[in-house]
Structure 1
Amino acid sequence: MQPYAPAPDLDVPDVTTRLLVRVAGWAVLAIGGAIALLLALDPVGQSTSRILFNLGAGLVGGLALVLARLRHWRLAAHLLVWGVWCFVTLVTVRNGGLHGPNLLNYPVLIVLSGWMLGGRATVVLVAITGMLFGLFFWAEAQGWMPQVPRGSRWAHGVYLAGILVLTAAATLLSRRNYMQRVQEAQRTAHELAASESQLRKLLRAVEQSPESIVITDLQERIEYVNEAFVQRTGYVRQEVLGHAAALFSSKGMEAAQRQGLRETLASGKVWAGEQTNQRKDGAPLAESVVVAPIRQTDGSISHYVEYRQDITERKRAAQEIHRLARHDALTGLPNRAMLVEHLHGLQERADGSPATLHALLLLDLDRFTVFNDARGSEMGDRLLCAMALRLSHQLPAEGMLVRVAGDEFALVLHGLGDDAPLAGRRALAFADQVQAALGQPLRLQGDAGPIQWTASVGITLYPQGPEDQAHDALRRASMALHRAKAVGGGQLAFFEQEMGQAAEQRFQLERELRQAIGAGELRLFLQSQVDMQGRTTGAEVLVRWQHPRDGLVMPGVFIAVAESSDLIVLLGRWVLEQACALLANPALAQQRVRLSVNLSARQFRQPGFVQELRALLERTGADPALLTLEVTEGLVIEDFDDVVAKMRELAALGVEFSLDDFGTGYSSLAYLKRLPIQEIKIDRSFVRDACTNADDGALVEAILSVARHFGLRVVAEGVETEEQASYLRERSSAIICQGFLYCRPQPQEDWLQRLT
């Protein structure tokens, strides 16, 4: 649709024509008036007609100026040309026709007519003038033309000057107009060249765009498609140009979507969406489409342009990402996220209907980490795939198999009925069947021989009520699996309510203990260590928890929880800080009383433990020689060289080490001779029965012999009776005793008061 353009005003000529009308009007007025005046004043005397004719011509010029003033330019131009022509003709006839002096007027009038009236009027003027000249020739031949009268020299001079001035003015104005038009033409040509270059650039950009571009008219007929459209759809241009866009560029658009497109475009807005079109060969083509109106300068819409981006690969990639997000990349099985979604679906279907129970089994391959380390990750992956295949063969048609993580799988059995005991028996029977299948000999590609495998299985029923959620079922199955693994490989464990209660209590205890460390609820207790003369030579530092609700909590309740988490590091750091602060007490420094602090393996393996303890000793002013760190055999054996290096670094400061519970572990003498220790502790289990049990007595004597050989102090724990003390005293006079016989663990304040 072309924009509306108003028709030009025919009575408003260009600037040059208007100037010529004014100049010619003034010239005719001046020349005609001047000649008439000179003729009237000629002493010889001139005819009245000649005076009137020139005066009439001057009046024509004046009237033309009036019309120009009134902006009737075309009427003024016609009056000038034809009016002057008429008076010039009368003067020419009066002055002798072809032999008179007035013929110069006609060429000037023709020039003025060409600029002011245009080609048609000028042709008419030339024709009439030619006919007039022919008439003059004929009249002269007949002898009808009068003789040339004697004229006034001054009038003739004015006439010639006026003609020259008018001719020069018309010529110069015409030249100026011509030069302006030449400049405008050059400027227009330059602008057109620039526009053409820009248009070529835009055309190349559109034609070479990687996105399909389609231009349609307002009736949705295709007027243009670029090369990307041709390559992408398989159609050639001749097959689509002039046809409806619905047949090609928007074939995959549904009726409702197309109606929405039309309504959006009708409102002058841009439409965007996705659709699946078809190539010429019928292959699907997913595209992201933007359709925008093309507006003219006046704002009217003439066409629509469609921008089409091929998103087939992107959608395929999105589908693959979605699949990978819900499936395991190694085995192709559903993953944990899909398992949770599936369990949620089972719960939703159970709402408002009779409770149908399902079973969730978590299965963990025994010793898989050992196999993976020994054979490599590639063989480990092959084993996992083989186990996944065996499990899938055991799975009922309505079941679900999931790889949860690592070597852990999950199986869901559906529709076990509403009787919980019966459903549990069915789940256990299926678990036995699965374990038997996994236990069959298996030969992996690239492995030397067949292997047999076992798995631990944890089982729970689901749902166990309207509020039971997927994460609850997973938690129960996980606790059951941990119970099965704890009692050995290849075992089954069914979730029992006591498991959940114990786990909840453990979790609650860990959370409260974490708060207690920062809230100042811990208390430092000490148990004295006494030599055979009854003198207090040291004390073991112990910790108690002053619970705001439960009162004083013994370490047996919370130490195990702390050791299974990072809390043991925080707890050990607190005990060390309190012990060093106590060592700075003058009473301990004067009496040279030692404090023994139990050190956990996790705390000792902290990267900055040595630097942290050194800074603590410097900050508190404690004497390192009065601090004994008790370590266990398990800590020493694991990463022996690193442990010894740290112990030697601390021993250089004066800190001493005691090997706790000596004799209960490996008790390797090869390790013992390399350790920078100054003390060993006899475990209370040996001390308790040493008097009555020959084996325990022999162990105690062996430990004392080792200590004498290596020059180590010996501390006997758990001395509770005089018989035990006498037994130890008889075998070593240097032994130090620790137990209820001498002192029970006391709060820090009470123990310090007793010492002083």
Structure 2
Amino acid sequence: MAEASAVPLPDYEDAITRNLVRVAGWAVMLLAGTIGVLLMFDEPVAPVRVGLNFVASLVGAATLWLASRQRWKQATHLLVWGVWVSVSLVAARNGGVNGPNLLNYPVIIVLAGWLLGGRATITLVGLTALLFLGFIWADILGMFKPVQVANRVAGAVYLAGILVLTAAATLLSRRSYMSRVQEAQRTAANLAASEASLRKLLRAVEQSPEAIVITDLREDIEYVNDAFVRRTGYEREEVVGRASAEYSSNGLAPAQREGLRTTLARGDSWAGEQVNYRKDGQALIESVVVAPIRQPDGRVSHYVELKQDITERKRAADEIHRLAHFDSLTGLPNRSTLMERLQTLHGRAGRPPSMQHALLLLDLDRFTTFNDARGSEMGDRLLCAVALRLSEILPAQSLLVRVAGDEFAVVLHGLGVDVSLASRHALAFAARLQATLLHPLRLEGDAQDAQLGASVGITLYPQSAGDSAHDALRRAGMALHRAKQAGGGRAAFFEQGMGEAAEQRFRLERELRHAIGAGELRLHLQSQVNVEGRLTGAEVLVRWQHPRDGLVPPGVFIPIAEESDLIVSLGEWVLAHACGLLAQPAFHERRLRLSVNLSARQFRQAGFVPQVRALLASSGADPRLLTLEVTEGLVIEDFDDTVAKMRELAQLGVDISLDDFGTGYSSLAYLKRLPIQEIKIDRSFVHDAPTDADDGVLVEGILSVARHFGLRVVAEGVETQAQADFLSQRAPDIVYQGYLFGRPEPDTQWLARLVPAEALR
């Protein structure tokens, strides 16, 4: 479209040409009409001459009518050719070459050249030449009569009209010529100005300190300036015609590039930062604007990339940030970063805390003595070594900070909503920090290893909606001071009561871990009997014989084991010793069963079934006498995996019992699919079954389900004869377990009672 608009208009579309058509039309109409009228007064009247002049007048009138209708092309052709034909006829009538009408032809040819262009004018000249040759030939043959001027007034009018028309055409031609000359001068001036502007723009683009890249709509490079060449190391020949993604924006991530293309597709400009790469592979950080280039009709034809090198600016900003937020010696975050992190963890002001975090302040014991003895340089190296050692054990998303001197801080994230459990986690990590630092540190340039203890102050954060980072730091500082006053190498909570409880639970966990391998655990057995009072087996229970505190109840240490990984070790110990006990001859001879409780975490161990197989093989225990008790919650958590493991155990001959049946997710749908042989009624149902109708109905329902599926039933917590009678009336084959038939007792005592009974039989 833009190219078409540059084609010159036809002559008959020019304003001056239109004026010439109007003037010529009026001149022909008036001149021919006037002459025709004057010729009517001749004696005698020449009707052909009169008619031909009126015809020419009509040609002029028709031309003016077409012009009024804006039909300029038809008007122009009618004027030139109509007048030429009329004049030729009149000339033939008035003596040919000897007549006065030949003066019309130069005027007609000039009009043709001006109005119709070169081709039509050449045609007209050729026809006129042929006509003249015809006139000459006719004159030689004497075919023309001598020219007689009958009406001199008409002749004068004719000559005056020709003169006026010639003058008008000449003046209009000159005016058009001058107008076009002026237009050409203005165009030349504009072109010169445009060329100067373009040269100026080109120099600005070429000499711009910022890289400029122009691509086509396929993102292929068409132009790069000198700054791009200098900055990237690529020559123009290497990049022109190649994809921008390979050279100009080669560091743009796929998601970022997709966003750029989406923005450009909307016709908008894109701005952002890019990390691109020079030819030598060096990273180049650039602030980039990519904008569409539009043609006059609004069509986008190219894209331009304006790229500012901000590598040094980013490095300076990073350096400023590092100096403001990081310790120059160790490279760890500093106190400023610590305060920002604590403030971020507090959450929205005015809201109670929904998640507990912990702040630990750590101070190296005897660091001053070390610094004085080894020198400040070795002291600095020790601090760097400590920072590296602590970083190695730092949990994910936690923060390690060098506060000042030999004081470090650790922020533990997301310890849960339970304050007691969060305190235990914090205290456990403090112990881990202290144990880590007790390992010798080798310092460069020092033949002797360094080994320093550390005191730790602990506080949970935030403790209230109004708690602040400064308050937390103050509490941790006071706790650290108390730990150092206690002699060093200690960890202390600022919250005295909570700290003592956490310390006690942590101490129990640590001592339980020791007890498993130190032989402090004991097996206790609680008998299981049938309705006739005959012993059928026992449930294995574990007790902890603490060397200082005596027999620790399971309700104290079992929850601690379940909160940590100790429950797996504890379960493995119980299962191994139960298999050893089951291998005793008394169990085999009387076909007495042993039931062992399993924790969910132990059952989910990948090697649990092979472990059971190995224990049975090594101990010689009969797998058909072993019952493993699992809870309903364990079954539901990962049903398919649970069923698969139960089937493997069943193939070994081991029975599975569903413990505490009815208290969890009891469902006939999954009970039908479980490869179990036994269910245990929870003591909460047994206790009130004889007196509470609801509990009684529940027990009856459980017994009915067991009969339907052919399962053994063990009732826990049978403590009265009424409970036993209620159960036996509804299930004659039920097995009792409870204080009515025996309390848990050490395995040695239980076996001692069993063996004499065997001996008397």
Question: Aligning the two structures, in what range does the TM-score lie when normalised by the shorter sequence?
Answer: 0.5 to 0.7
Question: Does the CA contact (< 8 Å) of 1:57 and 1:87 recur in 2?
Answer: yes
Match of 1:34 in 2: 34
Question: Does the CA contact (< 8 Å) of 1:212 and 1:227 recur in 2?
Answer: yes
CA RMSD of aligned residues (A): 5.0
Q: Could you report, residue by residue, the CA deviation over 1:73-112 in whole angstroms, capped at 9, with x for unpaired residues?
A: 2222222211111121122222222221111100011111
Q: Could you report, residue by residue, the CA deviation over 1:197-249 in whole angstroms, capped at 9, with x for unpaired residues?
A: 22222222222222222222223222222222222222222222233323322
Q: Could you report, residue by residue, the CA deviation over 1:382-424 in whole angstroms, capped at 9, with x for unpaired residues?
A: 687366357569869537975423x453266999995999988
Q: Between Structure 1 and Structure 2, how many residues are aligned?
A: 474
Letter in 2 for 1:26: W
Residues 31 and 367 of structure 1, relative CA distance in 2, 3 Å threshold? same
CA distance in 2, matches of 1:236, 1:497: 67
CA distance in 1, matches of 2:59, 2:428: 127
Question: Does the CA contact (< 8 Å) of 1:81 and 1:113 recur in 2?
Answer: yes
SS of 2:102 mapped into structure 1: coil
Letter in 2 for 1:217: D
Match of 1:327 in 2: 326
> Unpaired runs of 5+ in structure 1?
372-379, 443-454, 502-756
Q: Is 2:389 the partner of 1:388?
A: no
Match of 1:73 in 2: 72
Deviation at 1:168, TM superposition (A): 0.5
Deviation at 1:276, TM superposition (A): 2.5
Letter in 2 for 1:85: W
Match of 2:21 in 1: 21
CA distance in 2, matches of 1:74, 1:213: 51
CA distance in 2, matches of 1:472, 1:500: 19
Report which stretch shifted further, 27-36 or 471-480.
471-480
Q: Could you report, residue by residue, the CA deviation over 1:263-309 in whole angstroms, capped at 9, with x for unpaired residues?
A: 22222222223332222233332323222222223322222222222
SS of 1:102 mapped into structure 2: helix
Question: Does the CA contact (< 8 Å) of 1:3 and 1:300 recur in 2?
Answer: no
Match of 1:160 in 2: 159
SS of 1:328 mapped into structure 2: coil
Match of 1:288 in 2: 287
Letter in 2 for 1:204: R
CA distance in 2, matches of 1:356, 1:16: 91
Q: Is 2:224 the partner of 1:225?
A: yes
CA distance in 1, matches of 2:462, 2:132: 124
Residues 2 and 218 of structure 1, relative CA distance in 2, 3 Å threshold? farther
CA distance in 1, matches of 2:230, 2:328: 35
Question: Does the CA contact (< 8 Å) of 1:3 and 1:296 recur in 2?
Answer: no
Report which stretch shifted further, 254-263 or 131-140.
254-263
Deviation at 1:171, TM superposition (A): 0.7
SS of 2:70 mapped into structure 1: coil
Deviation at 1:160, TM superposition (A): 1.0
Deviation at 1:165, TM superposition (A): 0.5
CA distance in 2, matches of 1:367, 1:254: 51
CA distance in 2, matches of 1:237, 1:299: 29
Residues 365 and 191 of structure 1, relative CA distance in 2, 3 Å threshold? farther
Question: Does the CA contact (< 8 Å) of 1:331 and 1:388 recur in 2?
Answer: yes
CA distance in 1, matches of 2:439, 2:211: 59
Residues 203 and 256 of structure 1, relative CA distance in 2, 3 Å threshold? same
Residues 192 and 228 of structure 1, relative CA distance in 2, 3 Å threshold? same
Superposed, 1:462-473 pairs within 5 Å as: none
Question: Does the CA contact (< 8 Å) of 1:479 and 1:495 recur in 2?
Answer: no
Residues 357 and 10 of structure 1, relative CA distance in 2, 3 Å threshold? closer
Question: Does the CA contact (< 8 Å) of 1:403 and 1:410 recur in 2?
Answer: yes
Question: Does the CA contact (< 8 Å) of 2:217 and 2:302 recur in 1?
Answer: yes
SS of 1:41 mapped into structure 2: coil
Superposed, 1:443-458 pairs within 5 Å as: none
Match of 2:456 in 1: 459
Match of 1:190 in 2: 189
Match of 1:85 in 2: 84
SS of 1:63 mapped into structure 2: helix
Match of 1:248 in 2: 247
Identity %: 54
Q: Could you report, residue by residue, the CA deviation over 1:588-640 in whole angstroms, capped at 9, with x for unpaired residues?
A: xxxxxxxxxxxxxxxxxxxxxxxxxxxxxxxxxxxxxxxxxxxxxxxxxxxxx
Superposed, 1:54-453 pairs within 5 Å as: 54-330=53-329, 332-338=331-337, 360-362=361-363, 385=380, 388-389=383-384, 397-398=392-393, 402-405=401-404, 407=405, 409-410=407-408
Question: Does the CA contact (< 8 Å) of 1:459 and 1:493 recur in 2?
Answer: yes
CA distance in 1, matches of 2:53, 2:346: 117
SS of 2:100 mapped into structure 1: coil
Report which stretch shifted further, 252-261 or 422-431.
422-431
CA distance in 2, matches of 1:208, 1:81: 60
CA distance in 2, matches of 1:385, 1:85: 113
SS of 1:298 mapped into structure 2: coil
SS of 2:306 mapped into structure 1: strand
Q: Could you report, residue by residue, the CA deviation over 1:488-543 in whole angstroms, capped at 9, with x for unpaired residues?
A: xx988865759999xxxxxxxxxxxxxxxxxxxxxxxxxxxxxxxxxxxxxxxxxx
Residues 362 and 96 of structure 1, relative CA distance in 2, 3 Å threshold? same
Q: Could you report, residue by residue, the CA deviation over 1:713-742 in whole angstroms, capped at 9, with x for unpaired residues?
A: xxxxxxxxxxxxxxxxxxxxxxxxxxxxxx
Question: Does the CA contact (< 8 Å) of 2:458 and 2:479 recur in 1?
Answer: no
CA distance in 2, matches of 1:465, 1:145: 129
Residues 11 and 107 of structure 1, relative CA distance in 2, 3 Å threshold? closer
Deviation at 1:12, TM superposition (A): 5.9
CA distance in 2, matches of 1:213, 1:335: 42
Question: Does the CA contact (< 8 Å) of 2:56 and 2:83 recur in 1?
Answer: yes
SS of 2:213 mapped into structure 1: strand
CA distance in 2, matches of 1:424, 1:15: 98
Question: Does the CA contact (< 8 Å) of 2:12 and 2:76 recur in 1?
Answer: no
Question: Does the CA contact (< 8 Å) of 1:215 and 1:304 recur in 2?
Answer: yes
CA distance in 2, matches of 1:122, 1:226: 53
Match of 1:651 in 2: none
Deviation at 1:347, TM superposition (A): 12
